[in-house]
Structure formats: structure tokens, C-alpha cells
Amino acid sequence: MMPDYHMHTSLCGHASGEMTGYVEEALKKGLPEIGFSDHVPMYWLAAHLRDAGLAMDETSFPGYVSRVLQLRETNPSIGIGLGVEVDYIPGWEKEAAKFISEYPFDYIIGSVHYIDGWGFDNPGLTDEYSRRDLGEIYRQYFDLICGSAKSGLFDVIAHPDLVKKFGYRLSPAPLELYRQAARAFAQTGVCVEVNTSGLRVPAGEIYPSLEFLRLCRSEGVPVSTGSDAHCPDLVGANFNEAAALLREAGYREVTLFRERKRIKARI
């Protein structure tokens, strides 16, 4: 029984369904707890450069927060957390911190979706993989992942090997990069996210991989769980596989969040 803390809403411009639909699906699947974690407004870009298809703007955000809090009131049979997925952009930590301080979040998910401004997980921008050296892409990506943990802004680091999304992989697997990331997570006290959306993209594998998750386990890194649902049907998607992966890596507990404090829960 694991919580789904990574769910988006139609406010972000690329998800569908009603927020009540997500709650209904979670109840149907018997999840103990869920949390909405929609994308942060693109705080690092000037207003005219922001893309309404990637994230809501600041003026919509208070409505998102009050809707989540209202759903919590009207659905006492399931825990509903207030979260947000915040892009980690080096140099913009102060702005991110200010935004995070303005709402009563239960948890903050930190994400790396950009390498030097390149949206490497955007299906429209994959040509760039053939223009760059894959080893260098992975090194830059994992530097950013370590930076996101060290920023101290986040409770959870999302989909920690997202760079494999389109199936561009290093062989052998970059264990040293995984180890550095696992150590950075342990040293800074963040949770690593087990995110099932990797099963629905060319990578065909949960984020993170078993080898990466094992290294997190051996460093003592706690775990958060999420589907990255962008529609109600996907709430709790493939959680049986996620539980099996966690057990295989040696985990017996996941994390629940309350006002940015943690409670351990048995899987």
C-alpha cells in the first residue's frame, strides 16, 4: 500500500480530467494516500517566454492550492497532500525558495527537465540527442540531479534517471554517476522518487533503475512513490511493479508527508 504523490492536473496544460476524477480513481484502487504535485509556474522565465502547455501561470496557482485543500475537506476517507513539482534551475534558487514559502505544501518534488535550457525530456526536442555526446549528456544531467539535492529546496528528487526516457542509454550503466547521486541524496536527506511513468515511455522501465535504487538503499536514502499521472486512469498505475522493485532493492518502507515532515509507512 503506497501513496501516489506525483499527480498533475489539467491546469498545467498537458493533463486531462477533473481533480475529483483523480481522487475517485485513488479510492477505487484503495490507495492509502495521494498528493497533487502540479508543475510550478515557470518562475525562471520572463512571462512572454512561458509555455501555457507546460505549466500554469502564477495567477492560477492560488486556485490550484485551494482546490486541493477543498478536496481534502470533502474526502476524509483518503489523505490528500498538497505538493508541487519544481524545476531545479541553477541560479534561480532564491526565486524557487520564495515561491515554495508562499503556500502550505506537504512536500516539494524537485525535478530536472532541462540541461542548459534544452528540454531533454520533451518529445519534440529529441533531435538534440544525436548532436551531443551521450556520455556528456549523462554527466551534465547527474550533476544537475546532485545540485537539485544539494540546493536544500526539495523533499523528493523526481524520476532520478529521467535522462533514459527515450531509450538513449549508456552501456555499461553509469554506476559511478548513480553512486554520486545516491550519496548526494543521503547527505542532503532528500527522498528518491520511485516513479512508474518510465514504464509508459520508450525507456520501458521505472525511474530509477534497479541498480540505481539499490545504491540509494545502501546509502540509506528514503523513498517516495508516484505515478506521474497526467489523467485520472493513471493514478497508482503499475504500483505492484513499483512495490516489487522496491522489495528487490531491499526497501520495506515508503514515506508519507505532512507539512514537510515525514512518517514512515510499511510497504
d(CA 208, CA 3): 17
239-248 helix and 210-219 helix, angle to the nearest 10 degrees: 60
C-alpha cell at 74: 470533502
Which DSSP state fits 171? S
Q: Between 158 and 186, whose beta carbon lies closer to Zn ion?
A: 158
Task: Provide the Cα torsion 165, 167, 169, 174; round to 10°.
Answer: 40
How many residues belong to the site for Zn ion (CB under 5 A)? 2
Closer to Zn ion by CB, 88 or 251: give it: 88
Q: Does 197 bind Zn ion (CB under 5 A)?
A: no
Nearest to Zn ion of 8, 214 (CB atom) = 8
Q: Residues 88-127 vs Zn ion: string with x where CB under 5 A?
A: -----------------------x----------------
CB 248 within 8 A of CB 217: no
Name, in order, each residue with C-beta under 8 angstroms of 43's C-beta and a sequence gap of 6 or more.
92, 95, 96, 99
In the bound state with Zn ion, the residue whose beta carbon lies nearer, of 3 and 198, is: 198
How far is residue 222's CA from residue 207's CA, in Å, rounded to a whole number? 15
Smallest distance from Zn ion to CB 76, Å: 28
Minimum distance, C-beta of residue 58 to Zn ion, in the bound complex (Å): 17
The CB-of-67 to Zn ion minimum distance in angstroms stands at 17
Helix intervals (H) in 39-133: 61-74, 93-101, 128-131
How long is the chain? Answer: 267
CB of 87 to Zn ion, least distance (A): 8
Contact map string, positions 8 to 37, toward Zn ion, x by CB under 5 A: x-----------------------------
Stretch that binds Zn ion, among 3-11, 130-138, 184-192, 207-215 (CB under 5 A): 3-11
What is the smallest separation between the CB atom of 91 and Zn ion, expressed in angstroms? Answer: 20
Question: What cell does 213 get?
Answer: 535504487
Contact 216, 249 (CB under 8 A): yes
CA 53 to chain centre: 18
For the bound state, the minimum distance from the C-beta of residue 160 to Zn ion, rounded and expressed in Å, comes to 11
Angle between helix 19-29 and 61-74 (nearest 10):
40
How far apart are the C-alpha atoms of 139 and 162, rounded to whole Å?
13
Q: Cβ closer to Zn ion: 1 or 125?
A: 125
**In the complex, what is the shortest distance from the CB of residue 171 to Zn ion, in angstroms, rounded to a whole number?**
25
Q: Which residue's CB is nearer to Zn ion, number 38 or number 106?
A: 38
Binding mask 39-58 for Zn ion (x = CB under 5 A): --------------------
Q: Which of residues 66-85 bind Zn ion (CB under 5 A)?
A: none
Smallest gap from residue 200 Cβ to Zn ion (A): 12
> Which residue has its beta carbon closest to Zn ion?
111
β-pairing verdict for 156-157 and 253-258: unpaired
Q: Which residues bind Zn ion (CB under 5 A)?
A: 8, 111
